[in-house]
Amino acid sequence: MTSTVVHLPAPRVPRVRAATGRLQDNPVVGHKRVLLAAPRGYCAGVDRAVVAVEKALERYGAPVYVRKQIVHNIHVVTELEDKGAIFVEEVDEVPEGAHVVFSAHGVSPAVVDAASERGLHAIDATCPLVTKVHREAVRFARDDFEILLIGHDGHEEVEGTAGEAPDHVTVVNSPAEADTVQVKDPSKVVWLSQTTLSVDETMETVNRLRTRFPDLHNPPSDDICYATQNRQVAIKKVAANADLVIVVGSSNSSNSVRLVEVALEYGAKAAYRVDYAEEVKQEWLDGVATVGVTSGASVPEVLVREVLDALAGAGYQDVEEVKTAEEDLMFSLPKELRQDSSGQRDARALGGRASHGSA
């Protein structure tokens, strides 16, 4: 099994609109259909983060600065830019005294301190499930554990978590690295992980670590979040019956890239990731009767609908949803935004939009 290091930010490829009806309805053996995975798309943490930027723009007016992409989806970022958000790489690019939103992937304490020193008004849209991992890192470091953080070096979530206890954290990028990573005291080691990894690959890494360090401690609860796990379970079921799987998601979206890998491992004959429907290629559909479709946790449903419309134009009008879980989790908005300007509790203080993931 291989692991992909995610380099950020994703290239800002402008959307190229193609003529409708671009895909041809060529004959295939068997009945053309789509298996649509559910859950898919927006998770509670992404929804909260996007609503946080929208509310900050409503409350404070444009521009509102956002450190890094608020979520890893080019469409979401472009839409927020159109509304007046300015995305920066670091807080030193933000004018003193301005509002800055920290992305769903979290930040290290050094970033919080830098924003404070600059007199910025920070709004922390870190997903609560990422914050949970930060707290675990702080606690295990306080108890003098060495922390093996399974995740992708360079991903901002990993940078944020590692930054909570830099002297205690070693990043383990892949199962292969589990065979070589060095620790000072094998009796005092714990593993934690990035929230958006492949469940299977992470367990392989843990098993290989445990072979070398039998006293390896487990995190108190799953670090790979519910949304990542649910989307992987759903695509496993779809992939087993699909000739082709299309994952809607951006190239820097860890959980979207993992969905392509998982689909291939679980039986899809081919699997591709696209940002937009226009990227679906005619040759992918050659001889394909069943197309599986899913989307990463940072993907708005409208982009999936556009892929389904493109597929319908190519004869894949029969869409069957394959649902493996219900999701109804919602998170409160960041505390800075829970009250409106008159001090009343905001109507959307608890969560953002009405639905997540399923059709």
> Which is it for the CA torsion 59, 62, 63, 65, positive or negative?
positive
Residue with smaller CB distance to ligand SF4, 133 or 189: 133
* Residue 159: active-site member: no
The yes or no reply on residue 46 touching ligand SF4 (CB under 6 A) is yes
Q: How far is the CB of 9 from ligand SF4 (least distance, A)?
A: 17
Choose between 240 and 325: whose C-beta lies nearer to ligand SF4: 325
Nearest to 146 by CA among 191, 113, 83: 191
CB of 151 to ligand SF4, least distance (A): 12
Number of residues forming the site for ligand SF4 (CB under 6 A):
15
List the interface residues with ligand SF4, window 130-169 (CB under 6 A).
130
Residue 44 as a binder of ligand SF4 (CB under 6 A): the answer is yes
Site string for ligand SF4, 201-240 (x = CB under 6 A): ------------------------x-xx------------
Residue in 157, 201, 279, 327 annotated catalytic: 157
- Whichever of 126 and 290 has its CB closer to ligand SF4, that residue is 126
Whether the Cβ atoms of residue 147 and residue 192 lie closer than 8 Å to each other: yes
- Please report where in the chains the tokens 């995305």 appear, as a residue: 87
- Contact set for ligand SF4, span 284-323 (CB under 6 A): 297
Question: Judged by CB under 6 A, which of 69, 193, 255, 290 binds ligand SF4?
Answer: 255
196 near ligand SF4 (CB under 6 A): yes
**Nearest-approach distance from CB 180 to ligand SF4, in angstroms:** 28
Residues 6+ apart with CB under 8 A from 11: 251
Single out the residue of 5, 1, 2 nearest to residue 171, CA to CA.
5
Please say whether the beta carbons of 145 and 190 come within 8 A.
Answer: yes
Shortest Cβ distance from residue 17 to ligand SF4 (Å)?
29
Segment interacting with ligand SF4 (CB under 6 A) among 42-50, 214-222, 261-269, 348-356: 42-50
Q: Residue 248 interacts with ligand SF4 (CB under 6 A)?
A: no
Q: Which is nearer to ligand SF4, 178 or 225 (CB)?
A: 225
**List 6, 34, 35, 43, residue binding ligand SF4 (CB under 6 A):** 43
Q: Closer to ligand SF4 at the Cβ: 41 or 292?
A: 41
The answer to whether 6 contacts ligand SF4 (rule: CB under 6 A) is no
Residues annotated as catalytic (active site), given as ranges = 157
Give the footprint of ligand SF4 on this chain (CB under 6 A). 43-46, 104, 127, 129-130, 195-196, 225, 227-228, 255, 297
